[in-house]
Amino acid sequence: MKFTLTFLGFLAINLGALFLGTLLMNDGPTSSWYFDLEKAPWTPAGWVFGAAWTCVMVFFSVFISYLYQNLESRKLWFLFGIQFVLNVSWNYIFMNKHLIELGLINITLLTVLMFYFFIAFKDLISHMRFFVLPYCVWLLLASSLNLYVVLYN
């Protein structure tokens, strides 16, 4: 029961981050600015982003819940908070303010942090750490899309 409540709490926070990020985008993904960008040929259809981020956050909520139950500490809350800020702020930086280089720095830091989660806690939560892997992989793709925009625009 404790895991379920922890999971639901983190899920609410993580889905809230997606919602907040969407609000901060303003009309970014539907704007003429975004439409006119030279985007990577491997850029997924728009609906894929929402579906992928939702799945990523469900898996991340499982991961962070297991980690929380094994490492209830300030360090965990600090790292989770940094993840939250980086995740939400990319939407504002890239989509709203069109600061594509700063967006690349932001998403690179988020990617490094998520791989840190994957590697640093391998002994503590063993195989459950693989629940953060979809986040890591999705961020690699997202980073490549951001990098392409920086290089070709």
* pLDDT tens digits along 62-117: 999 999 999 878 999 999 999 999 999 999 999 999 999 999 999 999 999 999 99
Percent of the chain with pLDDT strictly greater than 70: 100
pLDDT of residue 28: 85
Residue 48 · residue 29 · CB < 8 Å = no
Domain count, the chain: 1
Owning domain of residue 68 = 2-152
**CA distance to 15, 18, 57, 101, 151, per residue, from 10 (Å):** 8, 12, 9, 30, 36
- CATH number of the domain at 87, please: 1.20.1260.100
pLDDT of residue 72: 73
Mean pLDDT taken over the chain? 96
Task: Calculate mean pLDDT across residues 38-67.
Answer: 96
* pLDDT tens digits along 110-150: 999 999 999 999 988 989 999 999 999 999 999 999 999 99
CA–CA separation, 90 vs 85, rounded Å? 8
pTM of the model: 0.94
